[in-house]
Amino acid sequence: GAGGEVDDAVHFFSASRHTELGQRLTVEAHLRRALERGELRLVYQPKVTVREQRVVGFEALLRWTNPELGTVSPLDFVPIAERTGLILPIGSWVLEQACRQMEQWTSRLVRPVKVAVNLSPRQFHQKSLIDTIRRCLAQYRVGEGCLELEITETALMSREHEVDRRLHEIRELGVELAIDDFGTGYSSLAYLQRFPVSRLKVDRAFVRDLGRDEDSAAIVLSIVNLARGLKLQVVAEGVETESQLAVLREMACDEYQGFLFSKPVEADEVPALLARAG
């Protein structure tokens, strides 16, 4: 009857709310065991020069495949990992895995390769981070300047003094620093002067509309010029078309990453890719 419909509506509403929460909890529960079950791996996307399309390094990107959930995007699980603190063990694993991988590649590589690892805000502020990095560098004999850490502006925005000290601690280990998703964080530009970073990565959102939208071109050009003025390298993310690349070449942007050159590849494909495109 009519009462049933109202009832059903209420149940439907609360059931779907439960489902959403349930899904998040399911993801979290699975994520908790993902490490020990060996469900995580890293893939590597080349970073190349704009001028000659020479490979200058790779970015390590986390992948998760779960028997029940299938492949889950880092855009979905990294925020959950960050919120729950699971990013700390997962992030340490990523660092260690990338360094281990560099050592495993050594004998198969035509020249030493640089790998960039993403660091979440929580991981950046973790007390034990410096010890973890130092241990990984020593254990896997990672060369000076071969490891780079990508940090988003948001991680750098609070507690300036602490952030500054932490960045210097990382630099003192011979590890380079890049600011990821640059241009999306609303932070003051003053910090660029002081922080020991060597690279800015222009967010994909601005690159996407290059060649179509003049405002995006204006923003990218400003970032490229800003970087040049501060003697920083600048990398454009998410380059998919020749026309985007042509605009970046015109602007004298240093490097790019994107599907145009290559999607992220499996670890064992890296030596061949480097030999082919080095």
- Which residues make Cβ contacts (< 8 Å) with residue 239, sequence separation at least 6? 207, 245, 248, 256, 257, 258, 259, 260, 261
Residues in the interface with Mg ion (CB under 5 A) total: 6
Which 70-99 residues touch ligand C2E, going by CB under 6 A?
73-75, 78, 91, 94
Which 83-122 residues touch Mg ion, going by CB under 5 A?
118
- 181 contacts ligand C2E (rule: CB under 6 A): yes
> How many Å apart are CA 186 and CA 174, to the nearest integer?
29
Q: Which of 66, 120, 126, 233 binds ligand C2E (CB under 6 A)?
A: 120
Which 200-259 residues touch ligand C2E, going by CB under 6 A?
204, 237-240, 257-259
Question: What are the structure tokens assigned to 106, written together?
Answer: 């050594």
**Local structure of residue 196 (DSSP, 8 states):** -
* Residue 262's binding partner out of Mg ion, ligand C2E, none, with CB under 5 to 8 Å set by partner kind: none
* Residue 95 · residue 123 · CB < 8 Å: no
> How many Å apart are CA 247 and CA 214, to the nearest integer?
11
Nearer to ligand C2E, 13 or 259 (CB): 259
Minimum CB separation of residue 7 from Mg ion in Å reads 46
**Local structure of residue 179 (DSSP, 8 states):** E
- 176 contacts Mg ion (rule: CB under 5 A): no
> How many Å apart are CA 198 and CA 241, to the nearest integer?
26
Nearer to ligand C2E, 203 or 232 (CB): 203
* Residue 75's binding partner out of ligand C2E, Mg ion, none, with CB under 5 to 8 Å set by partner kind: ligand C2E
Nearer to ligand C2E, 81 or 192 (CB): 81
- Nearest-CA neighbor of 126 among 181, 86, 183? 86
- Nearest-CA neighbor of 222 among 237, 240, 202? 202
- Interface with Mg ion (CB under 5 A): 118, 150, 180-181, 204, 237
- Interface with ligand C2E (CB under 6 A): 45, 61-62, 73-75, 78, 91, 94, 118, 120, 150, 180-181, 204, 237-240, 257-259, 264
